[in-house]
Structure 1
Amino acid sequence: MISRLSGILIDKESAHIVLDVQGVGYAVDVPLTTYYQLPSTNEPLTLWTHMAVREDAHQLFGFHEREQRSVFLLLIKVSGVGPKLALTILSGMEVSALRNCLQREDIATLTRIPGIGKKTAERLVIELRDKLDKFSVSLPGEQKAANVSLVPEATASEEAMSALVALGYKPVEAQRAVNAALKDSALNSDDTASVVRAALKGLLKS
């Protein structure tokens, strides 16, 4: 089992990266909270990882913080929540927000995350309501992500659109959420992470 990787970041696109470790390129899927902390390409990077083994594929999932990987592992133990959906959950909600949502038994908010139906939301509440208590504050990465700007190859709004679609939102929903977020005069419209966070907040409240 691959638990940790250190190498050189050679490619990054939406929530998918390639990490070169001594000449071997590892494809790693990451949540947006990790993606927005990535260095520039050709820079060193260390990730805490989980490898999911299936008959038809081996997938690596990477996280900046060891604690966030721990939450990911708790999520995939819930019936109906696979690695991809767990990654979507961690991309759409900070751990602290997820914990509060489960404690409030807020099924409505959970079902606004793509891929989560009412039954899955109820299982999340029942099985994880008390297991996230030890994560009583936001993880370090959650605090830093909002202040990290990407080196843009596209505009922040275009990057945000791509990120939301990668999470499973329909393009029309993503565009509407980004447009609504950009109307906030206090928002840094040049910072992709800030735009995504604001758009997600609107999507989860709608």
Structure 2
Amino acid sequence: MIRKIKGIINKLDSSEIIIQTGNFFFESIPTYRILKNCKENEEYTFESFLDVNERNISLYLFYDDLERSIFINLKKVSKLGAKSALRILQNADAESIATMISANDISGLSKLPGVGKKTAERIANELKNKFDSFISSSNNNKLNDALDALESLGFDRNKIYKVLKNMDIENIPLENIITQALKKL
């Protein structure tokens, strides 16, 4: 089984990535982190997942093990397949997705492409303990309250997650969390 692929990116855009390994060329759909962190004509080592089913064979490439883990777990959610899982990873950072799942953030999950309220609830329920290392349960309410407050002010939920994940919200009152986050947004 292929677990890692090392190669040079020949083409990188929002619809596809073509990576060359020796004499072989692999085509895949890039994730958010690949689009954000990788450049053409440079060599990278990607995590991978080979999906074989009765209709096709697909090779999925991921920037790191966290993305791969989220993909595999999302793929296991009922009524959510590999293409839907990849579409989710194309539009949000893996850490944000893991945080949303751990915080049971149905509102944030339902804003991802192809995810409605019922699918968001299924994702949160079926994967609720898979990514708990990203957020402690005592901070769930503070995080959700801060997210809702900042989102109501018009900020993008993914940007808010990025700011909040770099803050120590455990020892700060909610009002100060919002004030500090506003300064960074």
TM-score by length of 1: 0.60
Letter of the structure 1 residue corresponding to residue 51 of structure 2:
A
Q: Percent identity?
A: 30
Within 2, Cα distance between the matches of 1:94 and 1:12? Answer: 18
Q: Give CA deviations for 1:46-101 in whole Å, capped at 9, x if unaligned.
A: 11101111222211111121222112111111112212221222233333322332
- Which residue pairs with 2:6 in the alignment? 6
Residue 110 (str. 1) matches residue 118 (str. 2):
no
Aligned position for 1:56: 55
Q: In structure 2, what is the equivalent of residue 100 of structure 1?
A: 99
* 2-structure distance, mates of 1:21, 1:119: 41
Q: Deviations over 1:93-116 (max 9, x none)?
A: 333322332344322222221211
Instruction: Name the residue aligned to 1:29.
Output: 29
Q: Which has the larger radius of gyration?
A: 2
Q: C-alpha offsets along residues 102-142 of structure 1, whole Å, 9 cap, x if unaligned?
A: 344322222221211222111111111111013459xxxxx
2:131 aligned partner: 132
User: Is 1:39 matched up with 2:78?
Assistant: no
| 2:96 alignment partner AA | A
Query: Matches of 1:9 and 1:120 in 2, distance apart?
Result: 34
Superposed CA deviations along residues 157-201 of structure 1, whole A, max 9, x for unmatched, are xxxxxxxxxxxxxxxxxxxxxxx99xxxxxxxxxxxxxxxx6965
Runs of 4+ in 1 over 4 A off after TM superposition: 198-202
- Structure 2 residues without counterparts, runs of 5 or longer: 137-153, 161-185
Kept in 1: contact 2:15–2:29 (CA 8 A): yes
Which has the higher relative contact order, 1 or 2, with Cα contacts under 8 A spaced 6 or more apart?
A: 1
Q: 1:77 corresponds to which residue?
A: 76
**Would the alpha carbon gap of residues 91 and 122 (structure 1) be closer, same or farther in structure 2, given more than 3 Å must change?**
same
Paired residues in the alignment total 143
Contact 1:101 1:109 in 2 (8 A): yes
Q: Please identify which structure carries the higher helix content.
A: 2
Query: Which letter does structure 1 place at the counterpart of 2:133?
Result: K
SS at match of 1:46: strand
